[in-house]
Amino acid sequence: MAQVYDHGGGVYDHGGGVRSVQVPIPDNPLGHTLVYVVETDRGPVLVDTGWDDPDSWDTLAAGLTACGTGVGEIHGVVITHHHPDHHGLSGRVREASGAWIAMHAADSAIVRRTRETRAERWFTYMTAKLEAAGAPEEHVAPLRTARRRQLPGFSPALPDREIVPGELLDLPGRRLRAIWTPGHTPGHVCLHLEEEHPAQLPGHGRLFSGDHLLPEITPHIGLYEDPDDATVTDPLGDYLDSLERIGRLSPAEVLPAHQHVFTDASARVEELLAHHEERLTDLRSLLAEPLTPWQLAERMEWNRPWDQIPYGSRNIAVSEAEAHLRRLVKLGRAEAVPGSEPVTYVAV
């Protein structure tokens, strides 16, 4: 493992002109997002920014000062994906510094549509989606009465640069190549720093992995939620294909957006591929009887019993169940029961 220096306050020096700042995520078990500060010939560039919250902003600003720079000095912001714990503070950084913001086109499209979508439209979409998944009325009912409330995170900053997969980003003095890794989101990217590891670790450079590859937890793979896009996608299939691509890259070290840096990316990829294959096998066994996506989610193994999972997390769980169902259907290992309402699925 490379030598990592803690300068206090969750600021770390990873060597070779790369530091990180732990930016807190309010009321979230993940705790924080690791925002990376990459030195370039035109000033520091951030990889992700953290959640849009006053405490998070103060922590980021203090962390940048500890790194020997400041918010006003930021040259650019590279976003691994559009989720608010990564993209949330991008707009404030740009306002303070004039920095550009870069994101993959697929996630930029989601940001654009999010800004144009009224909260009422989102609640209507979620209500219909959960009803179709077989959610009970007591779960759906709060969405009907919440339609006039304002949702947070509905005005994310519009990126002004596009991350093009396979191309080097415009970071003067550095070699940072974008790798498209859809699954967690349709436009998720990992960023390969094609430079010799500062501690001479064996492998090919370093990888900023966002949420795609984490050392101890499995990223959420659910349906790509978009009220205005009816495309039938296969997020889990996308994710598994992307994992194999990263495994072949064999970086010397992985710098993820959560938890901690780690080595042996290939071994971690194999663990995750095996985990998802085992999960698909287990779910197919559950489908010995016809189940709705909601019923399947109730029976799946989570990090706590179903009756202890909070309301919002149940929506995420159902989305993950649906993503696994999509994959099983695509593989010919499950199918929808004709005429069932709401739709049930059974193993084949």
Which CATH number fits the domain that encloses residue 164?
3.60.15.10
Residue 250's pLDDT is what?
Answer: 93
Rounded Cα distance, 50 and 293, in Å: 32
CA angle 309, 32, 20 (to 5 degrees): 155
pLDDT tens-digit map of 205-216: 999 999 999 999
Residue 2's pLDDT is what?
Answer: 43
Residue 6's pLDDT is what?
Answer: 62
pLDDT at 149 over 70: no
Residue 8's pLDDT is what?
Answer: 57
Cis peptide before 342 (omega within 30 of 0): yes
Q: Is residue 157 part of a domain?
A: yes
Instruction: Determine what percent of the chain is predicted with pLDDT higher than 90.
Output: 83
The single-letter code of the amino acid at 79 is I
Q: Which alpha helices (DSSP H) does the chain contain, by range?
A: 54-66, 84-87, 90-97, 105-116, 119-132, 137-145, 235-249, 265-286, 293-299, 311-330
Q: In what order do the strands lie in the sheet with 45-47?
A: 5-6, 11-13, 18-24, 32-38, 45-47, 76-78, 100-104, 161-163
Its domain, for residue 234, covers 11-112+151-272
Q: Is residue 297 part of a domain?
A: no
**Contact by Cβ (8 Å): 47, 78:** yes
Q: Is residue 207 part of a domain?
A: yes
Bridging pattern class, strands 161-163 and 100-104 = parallel
Residue 7's pLDDT is what?
Answer: 58
Q: Is residue 212 part of a domain?
A: yes
Rounded Cα distance, 214 and 35, in Å: 14
pLDDT tens-digit map of 198-249: 999 999 999 999 999 999 999 999 998 777 777 788 999 999 999 999 999 9
Rounded Cα distance, 162 and 233, in Å: 22
Write out the two tokens for 237: 């299939």
Q: Is residue 95 part of a domain?
A: yes
Bridging pattern class, strands 32-38 and 253-256 = unpaired
- The domain tally of the chain equals 1
pLDDT tens-digit map of 273-283: 999 999 999 99
Q: Is residue 141 part of a domain?
A: no
Bridging pattern class, strands 176-180 and 161-163 = unpaired
- Residue, of 286 and 8, whose pLDDT is higher: 286
pLDDT tens-digit map of 42-101: 999 999 999 999 999 999 999 999 999 999 999 999 999 999 999 999 999 999 999 999
- Residue, of 288 and 145, whose pLDDT is higher: 288
Q: Is residue 34 part of a domain?
A: yes
Q: Which H/E stretch holds residue 209?
A: strand 206-210
**Contact by Cβ (8 Å): 155, 52:** no
Q: Which residues of 256-266 are buried (b: 16+ CB within 10 A; e: fewer)?
A: bbbeebbbebe
Chain centre to alpha carbon of residue 155: 18
Q: Which residues of 76-101 are buried (b: 16+ CB within 10 A; e: fewer)?
A: bbbbbbbbbbbbbbbbbbbebbebbb
186: nearest Cα among 227, 215, 221: 221
Q: Is residue 76 part of a domain?
A: yes
